[in-house]
Amino acid sequence: MRIENIELRRVTLPLVSPFRTSFGTATERETTLVRVSTANAEGWAECAAEPDPLYSSEFLDGADLVIRDHLVPRLQALGDALTAEHVATALAPVKGHPMSKAVLETAVLDAQLKETGVSFGRYLGAVHDTVPAGVSVGIMDSLDELLDAVAGYLAEGYLRIKLKIEPGWDLLPVRAVRERFGDEILLQVDANTAYSLADARHLARLDPFDLLLMEQPLKEDDILGHAALARLIRTPICLDESIESARDAAAAITLGACSIINVKPARVGGYLEARRIHDVAAAHGVPVWCGGMLETGIGRAANVALAGLPNFVLPGDTSASNRYYAQDLTAPFVLEDGHLRVPTGPGIGVDVLPDVLADVTTARTDIRF
Ligand code: OSB
Ligand code: MG
């Protein structure tokens, strides 16, 4: 495939409500969109890095620099030999920076699939037309505010609730949600690394609430700590931040550090590695689900396609557009009976709305090939 131009475009979209996690509060989503132009197609993707390096070490200004000065030149060096399947190998000499690599691989893959008329779902091996949607509910100022938010999401049809937790906001919100909405709802928690192994006895107090899983309680590099914690609590442990590759997934599973994996393509360098994690987990009988990074319709379309693979057996953080944005960058993803539809058009299968794009753009750089 011959790339003619790569555009990097910074956009900022207001969130419909603030989103608070154990590592910070977001009131807007800022991202860099990558547009890959060939003679016949345009591929789009969005960078998952956030403005500050708080979820992982990557951050948006750093990602822009790495993409421009270290990654794109390696794609340029490939010339016409470039395909999406070659991108990861070409970028491998650059250590780390999976989100920066993922956005490039995804935009190249989108352009390639549009040139050949194949959808992401078909390319990746999706076996479902629709995928069940969960919702990630941030830390709130009060239990009343939390219960109102959860009530609203359940009324909309979300099939699973994930509560963000941190020390001081864990037992009470979980108990309040169980008391108000009952034992039937699918409920899980996400700590984003906010605890240590010394908290094991405290975290075991969540056991009676029959949570589906506890996501990333300990530091990202603490695989043995998670394995130890798994022996001290009954709630299944799911890893997010710790898993950056299929090799990480195999090690974590083998060491007993997790029995479920949150797959975020951005965190692992792209959709091809995400699919390998799906496959490794399936081979071990470990279920996976699709995580999110507050994506616009561009990233959401590809995530929903991935979530259609057979071992994505738990509802994902693949919520409808209106959970995040009053106006999305694409036609909105809407909840239909608790599910989102997997796009079937070529590539990511959604179009970027030009007027909205112009409205939210704050900067633009073109790299000619
Ligand atoms: O840990 O899963 C996470 C959002 C930003 C960064 C990290 C996480 C999240 C979410 C929201 O939980 C997922 C979503 O709805 O996109
Ligand atoms: Mg998480």
For 331-351, the pLDDT digits (tens) are: 999 999 999 999 999 999 999
114-142: pLDDT as tens digits: 999 999 999 999 999 999 999 999 999 99
- Please indicate, yes or no, whether residues 64 and 87 belong to a single structural domain of this protein: yes
Is position 219 annotated as part of the catalytic site? Answer: no
Instruction: Give the pLDDT score at 139.
Output: 98
Question: Do residue 224 and residue 281 come from a single domain?
Answer: yes
Q: Which of 267, 317, 322 to mutate to test the pocket of ligand 1 (most atoms within 8 A of CB)?
A: 317
Could you tell me the distance, in angstroms and rounded to a whole number, from the CA of residue 41 to the centre of ligand 2? Answer: 34
Q: Ligand 1, closest atom to CA 319?
A: 15
Q: Considering every ligand atom shown, identify the ligand nearest to the alpha carbon of residue 162 and give its number.
A: 1
> Residues near ligand 1 with C-beta < 6 Å?
55, 136, 190, 192, 240, 291-294, 317, 319
CA of 284 to the centre of ligand 1 (A): 25
Which residue's CA is the closest to the ligand 1 atom numbered 1?
192
Radius of gyration of the chain (CA): 20
What pLDDT is recorded for position 161?
98
Write the pLDDT tens digit of every residue in 259-315: 999 999 999 999 999 999 999 999 999 999 999 999 999 999 999 999 999 999 999
CB within 5 A of ion ligand 2: which residues?
Answer: 190, 215, 240
In a shared domain, residues 149 and 235: yes
- Residue 276 resides in a domain: yes
Ligand 1 atom at shortest distance from the alpha carbon of 262: 2
- The DSSP code sequence of 252-291 is HHHTTS-SEEEE-GGGGTSHHHHHHHHHHHHHTT--EEE-
Number of domains the chain is built from: 2
The one catalytic residue among 101, 114, 162, 264: 264
Closest residue CA from atom 8 of ligand 1: 293
If you measure from the C-alpha of residue 122 to the centroid of ligand 1, how many angstroms do you get, rounded to a whole number?
26
Instruction: Give this complex's ipTM.
Output: 0.99
Q: Of all protein residues, whose CA lies closest to atom 4 belonging to ligand 1?
A: 293
pLDDT score at 158:
98
pLDDT of residue 122: 98
136: nearest Cα among 55, 220, 253:
55
Average pLDDT, the chain: 98
Report d(CA 282, CA 285) in Å as an integer.
5
**The tokens of 40 are what?**
């016949």
Ligand nearest to the CA of 23: 1
| H or E stretch covering 112 | helix 98-116
| Among 101, 114, 162, 164, the one annotated catalytic | 164
Q: What is the CATH number of the domain that holds 66?
A: 3.30.390.10
CA distances from 118 to 121, 152, 208, 267, 349 (A): 8, 37, 46, 24, 9
* Residue whose CA is at the smallest distance from ligand 1 atom 14: 292
Looking at residue 40, what is its pLDDT? 93
Verify that 248 and 101 share a domain, yes or no: no
Same domain, 103 and 157: no
Which of 124, 71, 86 has the alpha carbon at shortest distance from 278?
124
Contact present, 98 and 266 (Cβ < 8 Å): yes
Q: Which tokens belong to 349?
A: 């299968």
Position in ligand 1 atom list of the atom nearest CA 192: 1
Contacts of 53 (CB under 8 A, 6+ apart): 59, 62
Q: Are 119 and 149 in contact (CB under 8 A)?
A: no
Q: Which domain holds residue 16?
A: 3-117+353-368
Same domain, residue pair 56 and 205: no
Vertex 96, ends 167 and 68: CA angle to 5°?
A: 115
pLDDT, residue 229, reads: 98
Q: Which of 13, 15, 21, 288 to mutate to test the pocket of ligand 1 (most atoms within 8 A of CB)?
A: 21
Same-domain check for residues 132 and 153: yes
Would you state the torsion angle of the CA atoms of residues 21, 244, 45, 60, taken in this order, to the nearest 10 degrees?
Answer: 60
What's the confidence (pLDDT) of residue 197? 98
Q: Which atom of ligand 1 is nearest to the CA of 26?
A: 5
C-alpha to C-alpha distance for 151 and 180, rounded to whole angstroms: 9
Residue indicated by tokens 């009470």: 172
DSSP per-residue letters across 151-167: HHHHHHT-SEEEEE-BT
Does residue 252 share a domain with residue 133? yes
In a domain? residue 346: no
pLDDT in tens, 152-197: 999 999 999 999 999 999 999 999 999 999 999 999 999 999 999 9
Residues 256, 93: Cα–Cα separation, whole Å = 30
Q: Which residue, 315, 262, 220, is CA-closest to 22?
A: 220
Residue 67 corresponds to which amino acid?
I
**Is residue 347 assigned to a domain?**
no
* Ligand 1 nearest atom to the CA of residue 241, by list position: 1
For residue 105, the CA-to-ligand 1 centroid distance in Å is: 21
Q: Are 313 and 220 part of one and the same domain?
A: yes
- Res 258: pLDDT: 98
Cα(294) to ligand 1 centroid in Å equals: 6
Looking at the fold, whether 92 and 145 belong to one and the same domain comes out as no
Q: Which residue has the tokens 């709130």?
A: 140
For residues 317 and 292, is the Cβ–Cβ distance under 8 A?
A: yes
Cα(272)–Cα(265) distance, rounded to whole angstroms? 8
Whether residue 69 is found in the same domain as residue 163: no
Residue 21 falls within a domain, yes or no? yes
Cα(138)–Cα(161) distance, integer angstroms:
11
- To the query of whether residue 264 is one of the catalytic residues in this protein, the response is yes
